[in-house]
Structure 1
Amino acid sequence: MPTIYALKPKFQQILRPLTSWLYRLGISANGVTVFACTASAAYGAWMALLPGSRWPFLALPLFMLVRMALNAIDGMLAREFGQQSRLGAILNETGDVVADTCLFAPFALLAGVNSGIVALVVFLSILTEFIGVLGQVTGGGRRYDGPLGKSDRAFLFGALGLLIGAGAPALSFLNPVLVLAAVLLAWTCINRVRQALRHAPS
């Protein structure tokens, strides 16, 4: 199923000159990964501490784009400049889960939003990545199947943040959208299990 993840090669091509420059500066893949996770935690704290302010939500799409760029850059540094390591793999997977949690959870603090639905979305987001990694254990490869993978979630929450920051009443649309997101995340989990088993060696 097509997802925003399919655009990653073109995105990487745009970022390749910047990646080469960072390498010449001595920036490591693991350093970029840790920075992206730390920045996400700090941004999430900004959102959580000021749930009544529009600015953290209004700027969220831009931050999500920057985070996606950092995720692409750390991968290119690792693969193209010989920086792949077991520690890097652990940091990459853990950092993504921590970042998603920090950036999604503050939506539960908005007036009128069902915090239980937000918690479910966070849980299912973590589960999709857990199942994606398990694909490697079964021999089916790391799974990035949709319909609501990491890049798609970033786009969704960035768009929701933009609407809230622009003054749209969260109560009128956020809960139904989050319920739909939970359904799509459950579908993503099932799809990743199916594809991991399908591509696993007999």
Structure 2
Amino acid sequence: MNGLYALKPWYADTLSGVRAALVRREVSPDTLTLAGVVCAAGAAVALAGLPFGFSAPLVAVLLAARLAFANLDGALARDTGRTTRRGALLNELGDRAADLIVLAGFLPLAPLWLVATAGLAATLPSWISLAGAAAGAPRLNGGPVGKTERCALVVLGAASGWTTPVLATLAAGSALTAALRLTRLWQTLSDPAGADLGGAR
């Protein structure tokens, strides 16, 4: 179940002109990674500080930009031959930081335990995918509640004020996504051809 991640090839094609302009201007991929985190912080501030409904358009624009930067940084690195291990590390840290920062915008609006639970759950799918990749399995992405769906749920919360249902849905959906990825990885790594991919433990 790839969810909205299935639209990534179309989205990448849509951003091809922007990517070409960034290549011409020799913009660093790391700059785009950091810009995505800044957009996430802006969305969190708008969510926390503006009335429900009024905050939704700004939150939506900033999270759309956050997703665009997340798409562009890796593509730009590949297009310009600037893929590095440090860049890959920064990309992963930036993605996790952006997820948590956005959800921090709910802190004045919902119980701390629920925001913390949603934040923990939101990171689980990525940690499982990274663990699988470290064991030699293909990197898993997508839904049912992946990064794009989480952003959409945050926008819904900003528009409606339904903070508790939105955070509960985000937490449960992220946990389900993590469980599905873990199941797929477990099956992949259980195959005889992949039995030795993980190395010594």
The TM-score with structure 2 as length reference comes to: 0.86
Give the corresponding residue for 1:138.
Answer: 135
> Which of 174, 178, 191 matches 2:167?
178
Q: Give the residue type in structure 2 aligned to 1:177.
A: V
RMSD: 1.9
Q: Which runs of 4+ in 1 moved over 4 A?
A: 51-55
- Written as runs of structure 1 = structure 2, the 5 A alignment for 1:80-159 is 80-110=79-109, 113-159=110-156
Cα offset for 1:58?
Answer: 3.7
Cα distance change of structure 1 residues 184 and 53 upon mapping to structure 2, 3 Å threshold: closer
Distance 2:163 2:52 in 1: 17
Give the corresponding residue for 2:67.
Answer: 68
Give the corresponding residue for 1:166.
Answer: none
Distance 2:107 2:59 in 1: 15
Cα distance change of structure 1 residues 91 and 107 upon mapping to structure 2, 3 Å threshold: same
Aligned-pair identity in percent equals 28
Q: Give the residue type in structure 1 aligned to 2:131.
A: L
The TM-score with structure 1 as length reference comes to: 0.86
- Contiguous gaps of at least 5 residues in structure 1: 164-169
Cα offset for 1:38?
Answer: 2.7
Residues 131-155 of structure 1 show CA distances to partners (whole Å, capped at 9, x for unaligned) of 1211111211222142111111111
- Contiguous gaps of at least 5 residues in structure 2: 196-201
Distance 2:125 2:16 in 1: 28
Contact 2:43/2:105, CA 8 A, preserved across alignment: no
Q: Give the residue type in structure 2 aligned to 1:188.
A: T
